[in-house]
Structure 1
Amino acid sequence: MNDHEHTYSIQVTWTGNLGQGTSSYRAYARAHEISAAGRPAIPGSADPAFRGDRMRYNPEDLLVASLSACHMLWYLHLAAEAGVVVMDYADQARGVMVETAAGGGRFTSVVLRPTVTILPGADPALAAHLHTRAHELCFIANSVNFPVTCEPTIVVANP
């Protein structure tokens, strides 16, 4: 099979000029908007630890969310193909980022903790195993240089 290239165009616009630009570290807000043609804007900021607005998403939040959403979408696809009917899926993902002495930092791990509810009659072992394949196929997990693990909980719905 040939590889297919996909391109993603996103615009990030800083909206945090408080009138003095970046005249000092405290003179500006970290507010920005993430947008793409024809889609609603996502309000962004820095992590509150870095003078950001806790009411807005920060890049670290969005990285963890991207890993979680990519895994979920692959999982749902695989479940549909395998005849495992998923009725509910909710992930409580958690990422760990460590700051370095030089002022930068990096993610050291992300753990996905999806709770998946399947219909009675579906094979819970198969439903759990599909997470392994979803992880192998996830575009985002295949693009990061830190471990991403999955600790699923499978729940069989009441008949």
Structure 2
Amino acid sequence: MSTHGYSLTSTWTGNQGTGTSGYRDYTRDVTLSVPGRPEIEASADVPFRGDPVRWNPELLLLAAASECHMLSYLHACVLRGVVVTSYVDEASAEIEVVGNGGRFTGATLRPRIEVADEAMIGDAIAAHEEAHEWCFISNSLNFDVVIEPVVTAA
């Protein structure tokens, strides 16, 4: 077993001069930063008074689940001898808002994969099960992540 640590800096940039003096007196803008990487301009989701052109926590969580599954899947394919030539995931998730809180109720990953040879399709489909088991993010979530893959040959 090994342990890996992660850290970043979240800086609120939404003070418009009066801080949080009122609910409408500040923006939900945040800058996420890690040394040596591009900053991410984030905000709340639009229904929560956020900026629609910035990433929000809900999208970032969905992106993390999608990318983690993809990276785990590509590794599983290498181990199975499957040559992936294209991978695009159209992921979605739902949240349930109750009062001032809420929770994710589920996510669906819809990867569209192209492999080099038709004979690889069966293993390419089976590799999703391993990828789902190996994905650090999916293993950490308290809601179901459903995988609906479509695999075709080049």
What TM bracket, shorter-length normalisation? over 0.9
Which of 80, 87, 90 does residue 88 from structure 2 map onto? 90
Which of 114, 127, 131 does residue 111 from structure 2 map onto? 114
Aligned runs of 1:1-159 on 2, under 5 Å?
3-100=1-98, 102-157=99-154
Higher helix share: 2
- Write the deviation string for residues 109-156 of structure 1: whole angstroms up to 9, x where unpaired: 010000001012442111011001100110000001100110001011
Q: Secondary structure at the match of 1:70?
A: helix
TM-superposed deviation, 1:78: 1.0
| Unpaired runs of at least 5, structure 2 | none
CA distance in 2: counterparts of 1:108 and 1:148, whole angstroms: 9
CA distance in 2: counterparts of 1:122 and 1:112, whole angstroms: 24
Whether contact under 8 Å (2:42, 2:55) holds in the other structure is yes
| Unpaired runs of at least 5, structure 1 | none
CA distance in 2: counterparts of 1:82 and 1:126, whole angstroms: 7
CA distance in 2: counterparts of 1:81 and 1:142, whole angstroms: 21
- Write the deviation string for residues 16-72 of structure 1: whole angstroms up to 9, x where unpaired: 111111110000011111111111101100000000001000000000000000000
CA distance in 2: counterparts of 1:105 and 1:6, whole angstroms: 29
Q: Secondary structure at the match of 1:140?
A: helix
State the TM-score, normalized to the length of structure 2: 0.97
Q: Secondary structure at the match of 1:55?
A: coil
Structure 1: 4+ residue segments shifted above 3 A: none
- Write the deviation string for residues 60-96 of structure 1: whole angstroms up to 9, x where unpaired: 0000000000000000111112111101100001011
CA distance in 1: counterparts of 2:81 and 2:23, whole angstroms: 55
Corresponding pairs, count:
154
Whether contact under 8 Å (1:116, 1:152) holds in the other structure is yes
